Chains A and B, each alone.
Chain A
Amino acid sequence: MENTIVIVDGVATATNDDPWNSVSLYNSSNLAAYEIISFVNWQEHLDSQPSQDPSKLGVSLQPDDDPAVLAPWISTLPLIVLEFPSFRDGRAYTQAALLRTRYGFKGDLRAVGDVLRDQLAAMRHCGFSSFNVRKDKSAADALKGLTGFDMIYARSVTNPEPLFRNRIL
């Protein structure tokens, strides 16, 4: 994926040669490593190619998918992609938080779609670790969205304890 920001060990960098590829036309016999398929195709794939190593594929969820469906593979999946059809559609924030806190997903959690600089800090709080920035915007510029102040009062995936449990006065 081009125009992508990845956070590795807490450091965010913009890159144009992230190895992951979105698959537009799914063909189960023809999947290489680092390809991303929808959850529907993922199920088909498991049925038709039970021997293929699932740890090389990424799965993408639509905003109305229940993240619980990925629970059986949560420890082997290297990448889960959540879609923002519009940056005003906030469902993926909850999906992300659930994948991280309830289902224990430790791999890369990626935001794709209408992904813009001014929402990145909130996305990171909810557990996203990479961002495919919208095509007409520069990922290098969007990085600024992750550098500013981002204290919150409530808890989040990145701050499991709310501020009131950690206050130093």
Chain B
Amino acid sequence: MYKYDQYDHALVQARVQQFRDQVERRLSGELSEEEFLPLRLQNGLYLQKQAYMLRVAIPYGTLSSNQLRTLSQIANKYDKNYGHFTTRQNIQFNWIKLEEVPDILQLLANNEMHAIQTSGNCVRNITTEAFAGVASDELIDPRPLAEILRQWSTVNPEFLYLPRKFKIAISSSEYDRAAVRSHDIGLYLYRDEYEEMRLKVMVGGGLGRTPILNQLVREDLPWQHLLTYVEAVLRVYNRYGRRDNKYKARIKILVKTLGVDAFSQEVEQEWEQIRDSFAELTLAEYQRVSANFTPPAYKKLDAIDLVCGSWMARDNAFSTWVQNNTRSHKVDGYVSVILSTKPGPYVPPGDVTNKQMSAVADLAEQFGFGEIRVTHEQNLVLPDIRKSDLYTLWKILDDLNLATPNIGLLTDVIVCPGGDYCSLASTRSLPVSREIQQRFDKLDFLHELGELSLNISGCVNACGHHHIGNIGILGVDKKGEEFFQITIGGVQGKNSAIGKVIGPAFKADEVPNAIDRLLSTYLDYREQEEPFIETVHRIGLLPFKERVYKSAVKESA
């Protein structure tokens, strides 16, 4: 875990004081709402439908038990006893009073957290995958460079008023679990043939109204140049990105307009001027930051645990959970455990109560090394669990309602808060998610369907990442009525793809039927163990389309 040093502490403490003063000036009327807006956004504070929402940064999705307890305390004291984990591995509190925000930020600062740059047109929380440092397919631990980027981008004075928000993700494993391809800058970290750390720099991805996957701008970048290269990209963007239309202001539009070659040339030209400067990273700095991420004191264990194995043989439910909700670990005898925040229709995906938070914090200490991760699918992870503890842990998680064995399955929905909370949303996404979870609540059927991602966004801003869901649902408002457009074929990861619209949009109550027909088409066409997405790729959209819309016509006739 990264530990704050004197500089980190000084910065977040000063920031609390600064924002306390700004809130006072807003409350006294000295600052207009227009002047206050970018200041509060850069401190993670949105004004939603019924209240302020505060988004707290969880850098690269890593929390200590103590930090999670702090979040639990905030949920309890300042909110309605829950928080909502987001696709940027952050947490949002939905029912916040403006005058209490400085105290909340103080509490965060005292526990090595902040809400800096979790919104606004600046560099946002740096993300990586939830299994960083523990995944069995990891090439290099991406967290030291993620932390170095966090520091570099925090209050970087040149880039606080960009044309639009700016998201950076870094991944370094066989499977990309950080949705790198849909980021403004996506970084793949690897070792070259001489064992040197190198970066592949992808620029210009983003979802939203115009979904685009990022493109390769630089290959084989030595890690020492990470900051200068990112600086060059941001400088080109800050100078030339559009500012006249917020829907054309992301860097993806600039890359698309210039073409990736011309854009890369601009970046390279800029970079040539700054590459050999003081901003070049040093080995000493990399080592200093890496020292925060040294592996904990793992026990020497056998790869196979007999106790766990025999429980799996005896207890079917446990066995299902192990197969679905654990991931392999680089250390023998350990696994990572994913806690599903999606137990069913009665809980909005990503919502976790204060009691669950403090219980998970305790479990992380009792069974792990006091560390918790947040996944970009809005679930939690206990990264270092001994196989021999799995059965006991499972029982406890089950009591906490965090052991639904649906990770990676249809009901492991990514969904934005939608019109129930968000003032940008044009539709209510949560009821749609609820209907689908209600309709497909049979675990056997979900397992029969296998790996399938369903992502739902309540508006074109695409916070629910619908474009990269195997099935994506987008809410659109047509003359005051909510409609939902369905896409299929979206994929995240190294082979990312943007889903394609299957046809005219549906009313909310028609969505579960449409999904049902998509699924039955898949089950009819699939070959052997082929996952949904591969069937879509093999047979194309047409069979799905025909089934969904023909039967729709029949029903209404």
Contact = CB atoms under 8 A, between A and B. Distances in A.
A36 B154 CA distance: 35
A153 B158 CA distance: 12
A94 B227 contact: no
A156 interface: yes
B151 A153 contact: yes
A103 B236 CA distance: 17
B243 interface: yes
Of listed A87, A90, A126, A169, residue having the most chain B CB within 10 A? A90
B445 interface: no
A154 B152 contact: yes
Contacts of A126: 157-158
B150 to A, nearest CB: 9
Contacts of B11: 149, 151, 153
Contacts of B148: 164
A154 B279 contact: yes
Interface string B84-122: 000000000000000000000000000000000000010
Interface in A141-156: 148-149, 151-156
Of listed A116, A153, A156, A165, residue having the most chain B CB within 10 A? A153
A110 interface: no
Contacts of B159: 90, 93
Nearest to B18: A148
A125 B157 CA distance: 6
B221 interface: no
B7 interface: yes
B282 A90 contact: no
A163 B243 CA distance: 31
B356 to A, nearest CB: 34
Interface string B213-253: 00000000000000100010001001100010000000000
Contacts of A90: 121, 158-162, 238
A162 B278 contact: yes
A148 B14 CA distance: 8
Interface in B267-308: 273, 277-279, 281-282, 284-285, 288
B155 interface: yes
A88 B157 contact: no
A169 B159 CA distance: 28
B155 A152 contact: yes
A156 B158 contact: yes
Chain B: interface size category: 35 or more
B157 A152 contact: yes
Chain A: interface size category: 20 to 34
Main SS class of interface, A = loop
B278 A87 contact: no
A45 interface: no
A160 interface: yes
B38 A87 contact: yes
A84 B278 CA distance: 29
A160 B278 contact: yes
Nearest to A97: B158
A63 B464 CA distance: 35
A44 interface: no
Contact of A87 (B153, B161, B243): B161
B160 A122 contact: yes
Contact of B156 (A116, A152, A160): A152
Nearest to B11: A151
A151 B16 CA distance: 14
B5 interface: yes
Interface string B152-174: 11111111111000000000000
A52 B158 CA distance: 36
Given A151-B14, A162-B279, A91 B239 contact: yes
B317 interface: no
A135 interface: no
A89 interface: yes
A94 B235 contact: yes
B328 interface: no
A118 interface: yes
Interface of B: 5-7, 10-11, 14, 17-18, 22, 35, 38-39, 121, 148, 151-162, 227, 231, 235, 238-239, 243, 273, 277-279, 281-282, 284-285, 288
19 contacts: A87-B35, A89-B243, A90-B158, A90-B161, A90-B238, A91-B239, A93-B159, A93-B161, A118-B22, A118-B39, A122-B155, A122-B157, A148-B18, A149-B11, A153-B7, A153-B152, A153-B154, A156-B157, A165-B282
Given A93-B238, A122-B160, A154-B156, 10 more contacts: A89-B161, A93-B160, A94-B239, A119-B161, A153-B11, A154-B152, A155-B277, A156-B158, A164-B281, A164-B284
